[in-house]
Every structure is written in C-alpha cells, then in structure tokens.
Structure 1
Amino acid sequence: MTSRRRLLAGAGAALSAALAGCSGLTPFVGKREESTERVPVDGASALAVAVDVGDVTVRAAEREDVHVDVVKQSSSVNADLSKLEFRVERPDDRVRLRGVWTGNGGLSGKPSMDLDVTVPSSLSVAETETQVGDVDVQDVRGDVTAASSTGDVTLRSVAGTASAETSTGDVVVEDVEAFGGASASTGDLTVEIPAIDGDTVVETSTGDVTAAIGADVDAALRASTSTGDVVVNDLSLADGSVREDSASGTLGDGGPELVFETNTGDVTLSALR
C-alpha cells in the first residue's frame, strides 16, 4: 500500500509539473512592442502621466532624467501598434507623458500601453491616470492624484498629499504625508489618514471602507453604511455616537468634515499606529 501511494503521488506530481510546463509554454497571441525612453526634466517641477488603456507604475530614484519602459500590446495580430504613440509634452513647468491612439475604433479596440516610470527624487509627481488599467505610485514626492476608471489604484510612501479614485477597482493609500480623499463605485478602500486639509471624503458604493486615522487629525467625523456594519476601534470621539450602521463624533479639536460612506459594505475605523 505504501509503495502504491508513493507511485500515485509521484505520478500526480509529474502530471502537475507537465501541466505547469505546458501552461508556461503557452505562446502570446497578438502583437507586443517594447521600448525605453529617457526624458530630460530641465526646468520642470512636476510629472503627469496619462494613458487610455494600460497600467501606470511610478517610482523615484537618484537620477537626472525620467526613465520610461514602454510596452505596447494588442491581442489582435492585425493591430497597428504604430498608431499608439508615446508622447512627451511640456505644458508650463510640467513633464507630461501620454499614450495617444491615432487609429480607428473606440476604447475597446485600442491596444494597451503600459508605462513603467522612474522619476528623479527631486521631481514631484502630480497626476497619474488611466481609463482601463492599474495605477501604482510609490516612494515619490508631491501632491499626487491617481485615477483609473477600471482598475486598482495604489499610493504608498508619498511625501505629500495623496488622493485616489477609481470606478471599478480597489484603492490603497498608505504611508503618506497627508490624505486628500478616496472614492470608488465598486471596490474596497483601504486608507491611512495622518492629516487632512479641509473636508475629506472616503466613499464607495459597493465595497468595504477600512481607515486608520492619525492622533493629530482634528475633524468632525461621520461614517455610515446602508447594508453592513460600522465598527470603531481605539478612536477617541468626543460627543460620539456609534451605532450598528453609523458613527459620528469629534476628533481632537474638531474642524473639517471627515466622511466615510458605503452603500453595501462595512466601515471599519481605527487609530493609525
């Protein structure tokens, strides 16, 4: 029996390895082009990035120019990738990186352009945007606004105010100097709020809201859900009211509104450690 079990286990492992090998050899069907761009930043103080379809990744490093890895891709072998152009624009004091489609067809027929951007540490990041794709910005400086229509948005380690929005996707904002707000239509929001400047809203229609709030935040807090629970942990709320589906109260000395809302999902608030 022991030998039989070993034989069956070995056969199963061999079959799994074979299947993994086959899946690893599955060829990409379509077209793909890769290139590298180096963009001077003389006289610029901020960076903006915008594509229609594709992922945007931004990091900072000790360098003098902007380094961009560009990947253009289409699932159609008939796609003309030359119609999807990488452009550099210089409006005012900004460097703007864009993916521009000059071909025919709507959004669904466009090839994708992924931009993996490395900026000088001295250059602020202002805007990062895609309509279909993920946005991931980390270890940068500047007041950053990151947006996607369909995709996840992540902002981490930002020396400035971070704001994020998506229509369908999850949002993560962590380890930032200040928080400017976050929103989604369908997706979970996970945010850290060390400081705010004015009224601030964290809202999703369908999804959970999880927020860690700094001890120095002065605000009038309000949280609510239509279908779900509101949970408040380790927060000092003066004149506070915490119910199953709502919470309100004063943080610190009070001040601007800090609002957390979802229609379908839970709201969990805690102290930022």
Structure 2
Amino acid sequence: MPSDIRDTDSDSNTHDARDTDRTGDTAPADESTTLSRRRLLGTAAATGTAGLAGCSAPLVQVRTTTDTVEREFDTADVSRIRVGDADAAVAFERTDGDTVRVRAHKRARGSTEVDELELRSRVEGGALYLGTHEPPVVGIGGGSVDLAVFVPGEVAVDRVRTDDGSVTLRGVSGDPTVETGDGDVVASDVRGDLDAATEDGDVTVERTTGVVAARSDDGDVLVRAPGSIGDLRTGDGDVTAEIPVVDGPATVRSRDGDVTAEIGEALDATIDATTGDGNVTATGIGTVETVTDTHVAGTLGEGTDELRVHTDDGDVTLTSLS
C-alpha cells in the first residue's frame, strides 16, 4: 500500500472523483479547470485582514482568501477510508446515499495563493485515501485545508491522522484509529471499536458499541456509554469514565489530575485503585478488601479481568454506574 497520498491518473485500479468548486459555479469540473477558474476569480474571493503593528509602525494588511472544493466517490468503489498527511481539522459524519462526499475548505493567507492548497485523493483496493498539502511558507503567508467527509453507513472509517487540528466522528462505523498532534478528539455514536489519541487536547467519547481506548499527553479524557473500555490515559488532566465492562486488563490513569470511574454491575474484574498524592474513595461498588486513604482494592464478580485506576497527583473516586 503506497504511503504517499496524491491525485493519480486513471487506470484499472484507480477511480476518478467528481470534483466541484464551491466558490461559484457548482457544476463538476476537472482539477485543471477548477484551478484556472480560481486563479481568475482570486480577486473576487472572500478576503479578510489581520493587523501586525507596533506602537509607531504602520499597519500591515494580511490578505485572507478562502475557497471550498467538493469531490464524490461511489460506494461501489470504496469500502473504507483513511486520512493521512493532513494538517488541519478533519470531521466525519454519517450520511445517507451511495456516495462518499469530501468537502475541503481552503484558507490562504498573505503571499500564499488559495490554489496552492491541495486536497489529495485516490482510490486503491477498495480504500479511499485522503490528504492535504500546504506549500512551504516564506515571509508572511501560509494556509490550511479543513476536511469534512460525509460517509454512508456501509463505508468504514479506518484510520485518521492530522498533525494540527481537531478530529470529529459522528455516527460512523468501522474500528477507527484516530490521532492528532495538536487538537481535540470528539466521537459520538461510533459503531465499532475506537482508539483515539492526541498529544495536546481533550478526548471526548460518547456512545460506542465497541471497545474505547483513549490517550492524551496534555488534556482531559471523558468516556460515556462505551461498549467496554481498554486503556484510558492522560499525562496532564482529569480522566472521567463510565466502565460497564473491560476488554481484558485495563488501566485508567492520570499522571497529574483526578480520576473518576463509574463501575457497572456487570464488571467482572479485580480492581486496584491508588494515588501517589491525594485520596481514594469508593462508594457502592460492592465488596472491597483493602481500604486506606490512598489505596482501595477488591474483587467484582469472579474477578476474571483486571482494572487498575491510578493517579500520581490527584484524587481517585470510584462510584457505581447507575
């Protein structure tokens, strides 16, 4: 599977998409026509200004230009979607119909032209690969390409990676692995397992049918109504999780923050909750065997699995999931 993501010429294994420029005329157009029209209409595109000024320096006007492009892909050719090499926000939302629609919102600043910002796509082996490209910036300039992907229920979201932006999943299917270098991850009504990670941001997950694993280096982790949980971790922030059952040994942990775990009646596991600097409290979770200010341990059900709850610096609260 090629690692780069770019537009390719049509052949027996590659399918063209219908590309629509949303700035004005909405009729389908090929890439060269679209780019030529954008260049001609550049002066008519939406513009904004940003000020850079010192106390006595003259105001410098920085042009902002936007454009939106759409492409469509038949579900007969696409069974799963992967996003890589993105550098801004990515959002997935379930839709009806038999086409995957990809909307790219481009925003160019300063010396960067809007048609230098690219949406890249290809279909190969039943997978739709998406990515974006921004040119190197010299002086005042730059830009971003936000992606919005509308996905029929039979198409799985496989993997999503962006370096700088939030990732949102609403109502999609598959077992997605989601990563962002700088931004929040928000997922709801995902039908399948979910593995979500951010280096700098919050992770919020509500209503999944499968196993949820979530990690943040710097941010809060919140999980509500999962099918079950795997590991939930943050380096700097709070963890709040409903835990109906666990998928094998599971750890819920913060290095610097509070941890709150709501334990379901069906949980069949040993539980060990500790803190390095704070208090551990347990209410209504059944029989516990060890109780101190900093340590609670017990067995729920037959103790088939293992749940560890810990914070290095903060409080741990265990309650029943009502």
- TM (norm. structure 2) is 0.65
| Structure 2 residue 208 is matched with structure 1 residue 158 | yes
The corresponding residue for 1:189 is 239
Contact 2:134 2:144 in 1 (8 A): no
Return the letter of the residue paired with 1:168.
D
Match of 1:260 among 304, 309, 316: 309
Distance 1:92 1:249 in 2: 49
Contact 2:111 2:142 in 1 (8 A): no
The Cα of 1:80 is off from its aligned counterpart by: 5.9
Match of 1:230 among 280, 287, 299: 280
1:224-250 deviations in whole A, cap 9, x for unaligned? 111122121210135x21221121111
Return closer, same or farther for 1:155/1:33 CA change in 2, 3 Å cut-off: farther
The Cα of 1:83 is off from its aligned counterpart by: 5.8
Return the letter of the residue paired with 1:119.
V
Contact 1:201 1:260 in 2 (8 A): yes
Match of 1:103 among 131, 136, 143: 136
Contact 1:231 1:267 in 2 (8 A): yes
**Which consecutive unaligned segments of at least 5 residues does structure 2 have?**
1-47, 51-61, 157-172
The Cα of 1:221 is off from its aligned counterpart by: 0.7
Distance 1:186 1:214 in 2: 26
Distance 2:236 2:182 in 1: 14
The corresponding residue for 1:119 is 151
The structure carrying a bigger helix percent of its residues is 1
Return closer, same or farther for 1:258/1:131 CA change in 2, 3 Å cut-off: same
| Structure 2 residue 104 is matched with structure 1 residue 70 | yes
Return closer, same or farther for 1:251/1:79 CA change in 2, 3 Å cut-off: farther
| Structure 2 residue 88 is matched with structure 1 residue 54 | yes
Greater relative contact order (CA < 8 Å, ≥ 6 in sequence): 1
Ranges of 4+ aligned residues in structure 1 off by more than 6 Å: none
Contact 1:53 1:130 in 2 (8 A): no
| Structure 2 residue 315 is matched with structure 1 residue 270 | no
The Cα of 1:174 is off from its aligned counterpart by: 1.1
**Which consecutive unaligned segments of at least 5 residues does structure 1 have?**
1-26
Match of 2:72 among 30, 33, 38: 38
Q: Secondary structure at the match of 1:176?
A: coil
The structure carrying a bigger strand percent of its residues is 1
- TM (norm. structure 1) is 0.75
Distance 1:221 1:135 in 2: 28
